[in-house]
Amino acid sequence: MKKTHIATLKKERFDDFISALARLQKVVAPVARGNGQFAFEPVVSGNEIALDYIPTILPPKKYFLPQHETLATFDTTKGQQMEPVVAYEKMVIFGVHTCDLAGIQSLNMIFSERPKDVNYLIRKSAITIIGYECNDYCDEYASCRLVHNHTPNGGYDLFFTNLGDKFIIHINTQAGDDIIESAGLFEPAQAADLKALEQLRSDKRKLFANEVPVVHENIPEVFAKSFNSKVWEDLGKKCLACGNCTNVCPTCYCFDVIDEPNLDLKTGKRYRRWDSCQSETFAQVAGGESFREERGARQRHRFYRKFKYPMNKFSRLFCTGCGRCSRTCMAKINLKETLTQLVKEQAMTDLKAGNQ
């Protein structure tokens, strides 16, 4: 195929593409798990892949930052000997929605800061990402339009868009170009294909409306004035402190580091595991004191870690609009409803101040 940044793949060749790719390396993609749920799992053919899926139970973050990861092993029989461990696997992740692409981009920023997280960065370098566009809203929990993640914003090697009888693919990196070339199944995009893509994006601008009564640019201002809002107290009364919201979030990255000896008490390992700012022990310090004892304070911290603090540091929202936190919350705490309450409360406060 002639070198191009845009290619197409006929629908009837999709299974051939995934099967050929899976023979070369591990491929993971969204698959149906029943009850309307989906998960990223290894696949060997395109027939296994759920192309129309709501966000998976866990985001693809689990391949970049595993739930449990050994960092080092130790042996005290010869002094304080510790050997670092970096476990990674070369793979392709197919079908990553734009919200999850944004989540991976956020993690890349976090773990590239000093001190750089070598384990994360090495693992990331071994993963090829193939994005997949949502042509419609996933469900009522999604808020991707609000945070400008309803259209692609980079972070992929290849990006697939479904045009009906074919996929149109944006080639973004050399790794993506190598896949296109080796497959031998793709064709250069024609003017009609580009026009169809332009029409699809135009239709999406009408379909994807703002889900909360505030524009993207004003969200940080809302949180700048909402630290003492009654909304947090109300959330605290509902929250179960289960940690579901943070466990499924594409941009939550808190972890605990644990040294675990073997039965000989001389050898063992140091590993990290996901932690949650919503758990009661997360903010505890010496003496059992906690600087975020109330559940409302912990919920506030979660929201500020998505909509305020990262804007101050990275000029970027860390909420990707995937809707997982609302979808999985046992207490039915809904992110869009909470944002709407904050916006309305702030509007009332500003109105009262203006009338005085």
Q: Which amino acid is at 318?
A: F
Place of tokens 């400008």: 148
> pLDDT band at residue 1, thresholds of 50, 70 and 90?
very low
Pair type for strands 91-96 and 127-132: parallel
Q: Which residues contact 124 (CB under 8 A, 6 or more apart)?
A: 64, 108, 111
Residue 2 has pLDDT above 70, yes or no: no
Coil, strand or helix: which one is 138?
Answer: coil
- Tokens found for residue 245: 């919201």
Coil, strand or helix: which one is 91?
Answer: strand
CB-side exposure of 149: number of CA atoms within 13 Å?
28
Strand ranges for 13-80 from DSSP E: 26-34, 37-43, 68-75
Backbone dihedral angles phi then psi of residue 179, each to the nearest 5 degrees: -65, -45
189-214 pLDDT, tens digit each: 999 999 999 999 999 999 998 889 99
Residue 345 has pLDDT above 50, yes or no: yes
**Is the separation of the CB atoms in 10 and 24 below 8 Å?**
no
166-182 pLDDT, tens digit each: 999 999 999 999 999 99
72-87 pLDDT, tens digit each: 999 998 888 899 999 9
